[in-house]
Structure 1
Amino acid sequence: MTAPVVSQARQAVASANRIVVKVGSSSLTTAEGGLDPARLDALVDALAARAAAGSQVVLVSSGAIAAGLAPLKLSRRPRDLATQQAAASVGQLTLAHAYANSFGRYSLTVGQVLLTADDVVRRAHYRNAQRTFSRLLALGAVPVVNENDTVATEEIRFGDNDRLAALVAHLVGADALFLLSDVDALYSGDPRKPGAVRIAEVASASDVDGVKAGTAGASGLGTGGMASKLAAARLASSAGIPVLLTSATEAGRALTSADVGTAFAATGSRLTARRFWLGYATDANGRLHLDDGAVAAVVGRRRSLLAAGITGVDGDFEAGDVVELVSLAGEVVARGVAGYDSAELPSLIGRKTHDLPEEQRREVVHADDLVPLAR
């Protein structure tokens, strides 16, 4: 009897030295609110086993708001930001204490890392977060990461911890990302309905074309749903990080043989920290619309963007700000650092370089400051 063929993506995930594992609120808490100690301990058992096997582990854990519901006598997840922040301030203590005790069973020390989107959007914050993670891992600690719900406002929130996990995976130089939830794999549609087909392997972006992924689950405890997990998996894999998506109840097998769930192969090259930050982590302040020739040069040949290839400008930005580069079809094909203020560009667009004043004969976006995006 021949052994089953294991995909390269699953091999990469199973043998990864540094991993990021994300777990959702619904996998750690009860429907009434409050942590489920048995679920949390089962997850930690699997993580500790992986650490004992030689891997460095970073855990991105939701659950602070959900864990704060019962202590505050709230019957459901609040919708207003102030009450969410109040619940998070109570629940985060509960969550951190529970992880410290559970990992302590294996003599593992945990370090709490609370982030806002500002910490990855601002370049200095991003680099400082990198150093903190690096030092925690070097000291043998397990970083436990969550969005800083207590202080984050609507304008600076990640929106869900799946995207946060993908950003953290690149920030720490992870070799693999695990997305654990209450669904065992990615399906072509709602797995509770007839006709939904389980997708075991995703080798390219086209493999998930047509997938109908839902939003937040029925428990009301989480925020992302399968749509955010799919988006996070595509983000990480396009940046060179293989991903395994499965349920938290399968954490043991996921973190050993990796023979469960859906495996996403790394479809892109690993970017430098700066280029990943530029392409995926920071906010864009405007848009440059490109003709087909400019898109081919920027994306296909990795050339600088010149004024001649620009057809329009949107937004109010300054030289040095990040902007999106958009095709005639309206698709964002790249991001880059603008070399001009938005007010300077209308008089330049569509003009050949030799027709411009000498002081303006430079790239609008230099190739070194430009990142084509996965399409």
Structure 2
Amino acid sequence: MPSDQTLSHPAAMLQQARRIVVKVGSSLVTNEGRGLDEQAIGEWCRQLAALRAEGREVIMVSSGAVAEGMKRLGWQTRPRELNELQAAAAVGQMGLAQMYETKLRENGLASAQVLLTHADLADRERYLNGRSTLVTLLELGVLPVINENDTVVNDEIKFGDNDTLGALVANLVEADLLVILTDQKGLFSADPRKHPDATLVAVGQAGDPALEAMAGGAGSAVGTGGMLTKILAAKRAAGSGASTVIAWGREPDALLRLVQGEVVGTVLVAPTQKLQARKQWMKDHLKLHGSVVVDAGAAAMLQQGGKSLLPIGMTEVQGEFRRGEVIAVRNPEGVEIARGLANYSSYEARQLCRKPSSQFEALLGYSAEPEMVHRDNMVLSR
């Protein structure tokens, strides 16, 4: 649980955030539907570049494809037919990607477009593939710009305005902080349009049921997300230990001020720290799909902590599992010493037992991760 001091003074948490997911909504990106706001996008990209220069890793999740497509197609109102929404997204995605690429390049940053659906993050193998891709891009100094793949999804295109996607990406990459930039100053105790005496909630705890009661109300005419989707996104992000900030997207230097420790908008602190949340998820994953047995040397290395499991230390593969599923790691006596996400299926793992990574390509026909289970995806059993 966050301490009372963290809730009262979250400055240290904000300053220490190293991996940050920033989500911006449709009404901001498209200037209330009038077309892509070049100045606003350029301003966010400038701040993102400054964060990168400080050594922080940043991912942008941007709405706006449908709204930009509507503008390019000359549509005045958001269509209801799914095929028309998907067509608008396809048209708008071109301009959206081009704008971010241009503005990031002007600030000295390389960028990559990544289109995701909720199904990509629900499937364990695709989840692991997506994580590997995003982490690799970050390691290469490339800033990923993510949008929901609106041209192929169904229900997702109609709900959420990418707030949920922002939280899922924060979970995926184990972010420290999710920043949701919106057209509102933050969460208020009541709808300020109806209650002039409503006050801004500066700091709260993500997942607090009282916040959901405060967050009723619909979204803007351009997007589909309301404050409630943002509160629920913060709750979801907290599941992996990420705290959330909900702030006005046109607040001057909002991102830079946040990482300096200033409370901008509403800060929702995650109830558990990132490492604790991940370990708890692994420990609670009761349905193990199989296991690998390792030799005494590998077992000793793993139990020292901070080491990945390499196939050369494996002696046996038990059960059937796919890439991305949770497996147990057992010592020569059969005792579970760790569990984690498998980088290879059971069929592939059997071929890799006792083999160095230099032989993987010859054995499998391709070369992927050198580890069977990466240390970041493993928790030791106690």
The TM-score normalised by the length of structure 2 is 0.66
Q: Verify the 8 A CA contact 2:207 2:232 in the aligned structure 1.
A: no
Q: Verify the 8 A CA contact 2:243 2:270 in the aligned structure 1.
A: yes
1:148-200 deviations in whole A, cap 9, x for unaligned? 00111227987431111111011112111111100111111112222312111
Return the match for 1:208 from 189, 210, 230: 210
Distance 2:158 2:278 in 1: 24
Return the match for 2:219 from 211, 217, 220: 217
Distance 1:251 1:125 in 2: 37
- Within 5 Å, which residues of 2 pair with 1:252-263? 252-256=253-257, 257=260, 258-263=262-267
- Within 5 Å, which residues of 2 pair with 1:1-375? 7-154=8-155, 159-193=160-194, 194-203=196-205, 205-206=207-208, 208-209=210-211, 211-218=213-220, 220-250=221-251, 252-256=253-257, 257=260, 258-270=262-274, 271-272=277-278, 275=281
Q: Verify the 8 A CA contact 1:136 1:143 in the aligned structure 2.
A: yes
Aligned to 1:366: none
Distance 1:72 1:202 in 2: 42
Greater mean deviation of Cα atoms: 33-42 or 6-15: 6-15
Cα distance, 1:31–1:264 mapped onto 2, change above 3 Å: closer
Q: Verify the 8 A CA contact 1:202 1:264 in the aligned structure 2.
A: yes
SS in 2 for 1:267: coil
Distance 2:99 2:108 in 1: 14
1:305-336 deviations in whole A, cap 9, x for unaligned? xxxxxxxxxxxxxxxxxxxxxxxxxxxxxxxx
Distance 1:139 1:202 in 2: 35
Give, in angstroms, the shift of residue 33 of structure 1: 3.5
Distance 2:47 2:96 in 1: 18
Q: Verify the 8 A CA contact 1:189 1:197 in the aligned structure 2.
A: yes
Q: Verify the 8 A CA contact 1:19 1:56 in the aligned structure 2.
A: yes
Distance 1:6 1:206 in 2: 12
How many residue pairs end up in the alignment? 274
1:201-227 deviations in whole A, cap 9, x for unaligned? 103644735633234433x11111101
* Divergent runs of 4+, >2 A: 5-11, 30-33, 154-160, 203-212, 214-218, 253-259, 268-276
Supply the AA of the counterpart residue of 1:261. Answer: G
Q: Verify the 8 A CA contact 1:147 1:158 in the aligned structure 2.
A: no
Distance 2:19 2:230 in 1: 20
**TM-align CA RMSD:** 2.6
Cα distance, 1:18–1:240 mapped onto 2, change above 3 Å: same
Distance 1:159 1:244 in 2: 17
Distance 1:274 1:96 in 2: 37
Cα distance, 1:206–1:95 mapped onto 2, change above 3 Å: closer
Give, in angstroms, the shift of residue 9 of structure 1: 2.9
SS in 1 for 2:22: strand
SS in 2 for 1:250: coil
Distance 1:75 1:247 in 2: 25
Aligned to 1:286: none
Give ranges in structure 2 of 5+ residues lacking alignment. Answer: 1-5, 286-382
SS in 1 for 2:251: helix
The TM-score normalised by the length of structure 1 is 0.67
SS in 2 for 1:70: helix
Q: Verify the 8 A CA contact 1:64 1:92 in the aligned structure 2.
A: yes
1:226-268 deviations in whole A, cap 9, x for unaligned? 0100111122224311111111112613333332111111202
Supply the AA of the counterpart residue of 1:138. Answer: E
Give ranges in structure 1 of 5+ residues lacking alignment. Answer: 280-375
SS in 2 for 1:54: coil
